[in-house]
């Protein structure tokens, strides 16, 4: 998959078993970074883009996804049954706006099937939206399966957008809560690109934020954004916190005489505080929580991680590595689980988390040359 940051492709090879109880083992993981020019092309598509350019981009991303699969295959002798591909989200319109609820992920799965010979499961979000859901967050079921042994856990992904899954201590799936808390790395990354004229894509290890000072007045203004008061389920993305928002953020910061370091520090604090306030508003009141498990690119931002731990002193704040899963790989692993469930005709969304009318089987199946063998293996 490729996340909202559009940095590259995360490819994970996992072994899944559900004979007696669900178990998953990560066998391989590799990240394939996009060339800067290709990333720029994807980012440009998030705004206005001609239909012919989107058509081309769909196949171009498909080729890159297929190449990632082939490179993973070259690293192992382990037989691969299928590919689960999320693709690259280009635009997402959740319910509740004046527009038609819809979503668009590019990365043509037919290209993946043709280049690899493998059966592909793709386009996961559309079915949940067709059932009245937000189409996100879809990692909720995977989080539930992976972490329901804990005494109440919040699984917090910090990618371009930050999203959480609350997994209850009593394992009651109807109590699972999942939603986007707001911006993750998106604003910080865009600030870094702007300040360095594209030379730096992100604040490595949070070193710039660490040197800066948080502007409390501006932070308070930022937290008044109406998105944060919306009741879950809810989703957001670049349409709210993308490039235009960040340029306004920078202008406001300059009006307040913030230095470059102060801008990055305040943006980092904005992510941390919006996450913590989401917990306080929508999770802590009626639920027991012992762990916060951090994944995504934000888990490598040491300043962000430290500030989160300071903000949540009573909780055990850890990364996915503590559970044997790379923080980078977590979402790729989650969609592997969803693809597996689709092939077994099992629902992949959690309706209480996405707002869908019911739980539904997600995705579309594109048969590869191994399809007959795969179906025989599943239903024998």
Q: How far apart (Å, rounded) are the C-alpha atoms in residues 331 and 11? A: 10
Tell me, yes or no, whether 292 and 245 share the same domain.
yes
Q: How far apart (Å, rounded) are the C-alpha atoms in residues 251 and 220? A: 16
| Peptide bond preceding 296 in cis form (omega within 30 of 0) | no
Tell me, yes or no, whether 200 and 172 share the same domain.
yes
The whole-number mean pLDDT for each consecutive block of 10 residues of the chain, a chain of 380 residues, reads 84 87 89 93 83 95 98 94 96 90 97 99 98 92 94 95 95 91 97 96 97 98 98 89 96 98 99 99 95 95 98 97 88 95 96 93 98 93
| Peptide bond preceding 233 in cis form (omega within 30 of 0) | yes
Tell me, yes or no, whether 117 and 195 share the same domain.
no
Question: Would you state the pLDDT for residue 367?
Answer: 98
Residue 276 lies in a domain: yes
Domain carrying residue 312: 140-323
Tell me, yes or no, whether 218 and 205 share the same domain.
yes
Closest CA to 137 of 355, 343, 327: 355
Residue 1 lies in a domain: no
Tell me, yes or no, whether 160 and 259 share the same domain.
yes
Domain tally, the chain: 2
Query: What are the tokens at 174?
Result: 């109807």
Query: What are the tokens at 134?
Result: 């937000």
> Where does a domain end: 300, 323, 346?
323
Question: Would you state the pLDDT for residue 380?
Answer: 81
Tell me, yes or no, whether 171 and 207 share the same domain.
yes
Question: Would you state the pLDDT for residue 137?
Answer: 84
Q: Which residues contact 31 (CB under 8 A, 6 or more apart)?
A: 8, 9, 10, 11, 328
Query: In angstroms, what CA-CA distances link 270 with 162, 192, 339?
Result: 11, 15, 34
The region that residue 25 occupies, defined by phi over 0 for left and psi between -120 and 50 for alpha, beta otherwise, is beta
Q: What does pTM read for this prediction?
A: 0.86
Residue 2 lies in a domain: no
Question: Would you state the pLDDT for residue 82?
Answer: 98
Question: Would you state the pLDDT for residue 265?
Answer: 99
Question: Would you state the pLDDT for residue 325?
Answer: 87
Tell me, yes or no, whether 187 and 307 share the same domain.
yes
Cβ–Cβ under 8 Å, residues 274 and 40: no
Q: How far apart (Å, rounded) are the C-alpha atoms in residues 227 and 196? A: 29
Tell me, yes or no, whether 128 and 178 share the same domain.
no
Query: What are the tokens at 144?
Result: 């539930």
Q: Which residues contact 359 (CB under 8 A, 6 or more apart)?
A: 347, 349, 350, 351
Q: How far apart (Å, rounded) are the C-alpha atoms in residues 73 and 132? A: 37
Tell me, yes or no, whether 30 and 84 share the same domain.
yes
Question: Would you state the pLDDT for residue 20?
Answer: 66
Question: Would you state the pLDDT for residue 61?
Answer: 98
Q: How far apart (Å, rounded) are the C-alpha atoms in residues 149 and 144? A: 9
- The gap from C-alpha 289 to its chain's centroid, in whole angstroms, comes to 22
The sign of the CA dihedral 282, 288, 294, 295 is: negative
Tell me, yes or no, whether 155 and 131 share the same domain.
no
Question: Would you state the pLDDT for residue 238?
Answer: 86
Question: Would you state the pLDDT for residue 239?
Answer: 86
Tell me, yes or no, whether 115 and 13 share the same domain.
yes
Tell me, yes or no, whether 365 and 314 share the same domain.
no
Cβ–Cβ under 8 Å, residues 19 and 42: no
Query: In angstroms, what CA-CA distances link 229 with 58, 145, 233, 277, 291?
Result: 35, 29, 12, 10, 24
Q: How far apart (Å, rounded) are the C-alpha atoms in residues 169 and 289? A: 8
Q: How far apart (Å, rounded) are the C-alpha atoms in residues 296 and 327? A: 5
Burial of residue 128 (number of CB atoms within 10 Å: 0-12, 13-18, 19+): buried
**Any idea what the CATH number is for the domain that residue 37 is in?**
3.30.420.40
Residue 3 lies in a domain: no
User: Count of CB atoms within 10 A of residue 274's CB?
Assistant: 21
Which one-letter DSSP state was computed for residue 100?
P
């Amino acid at each position: 998959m490729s996340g909202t940051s559009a940095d590259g492709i995360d490819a994970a090879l996992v072994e899944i078993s559900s004979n007696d109880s669900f178990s998953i083992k990560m066998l391989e993981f590799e990240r394939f970074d996009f060339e800067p020019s290709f990333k720029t092309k994807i980012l440009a598509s998030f705004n206005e883009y001609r239909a012919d350019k989107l058509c081309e981009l769909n196949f171009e991303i498909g080729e890159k996804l297929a190449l990632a699969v082939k490179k993973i295959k070259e690293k192992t002798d382990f037989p691969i049954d299928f590919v689960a591909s999320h693709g690259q989200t280009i635009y997402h319109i959740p319910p509740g706006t004046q527009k038609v609820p819809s979503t668009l992920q590019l990365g043509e799965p037919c290209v993946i099937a043709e280049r690899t010979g493998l059966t592909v499961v793709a386009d996961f979000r559309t079915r949940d939206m067709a059932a009245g859901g937000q189409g996100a967050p879809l990692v909720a079921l995977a989080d539930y399966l992976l972490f329901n042994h804990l005494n109440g856990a919040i699984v917090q992904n910090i990618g371009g957008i930050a999203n959480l899954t609350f997994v209850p201590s009593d394992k009651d799936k109807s109590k699972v809560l999942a939603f986007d808390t707001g911006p993750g790395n998106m604003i910080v990354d865009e600030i870094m690109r702007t300040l360095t004229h594209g030379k730096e894509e992100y604040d490595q290890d949070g070193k710039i934020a660490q040197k800066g000072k948080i502007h409390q007045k501006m932070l308070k203004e930022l937290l008044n954004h109406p998105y944060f008061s919306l009741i879950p389920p809810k989703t957001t993305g670049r349409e709210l916190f993308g490039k235009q928002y960040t340029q306004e953020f920078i202008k406001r910061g300059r009006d307040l005489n913030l230095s470059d370091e102060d801008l990055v520090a305040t943006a980092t604090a904005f992510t941390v505080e919006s996450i913590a306030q989401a917990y306080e508003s929508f999770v802590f009141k009626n639920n027991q929580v012992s762990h916060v498990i951090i994944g995504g690119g934000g888990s490598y931002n040491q300043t962000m991680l430290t500030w989160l731990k300071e903000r949540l002193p009573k909780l055990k704040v850890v990364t996915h590595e503590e559970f044997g899963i790379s923080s980078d790989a977590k979402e790729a692993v989650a969609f592997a689980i969803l693809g597996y469930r689709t092939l077994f005709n099992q629902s992949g969304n959690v309706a209480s988390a996405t707002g869908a009318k019911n739980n539904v089987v997600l995705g579309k199946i594109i048969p590869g040359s191994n399809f007959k063998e795969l179906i025989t293996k599943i239903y024998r």
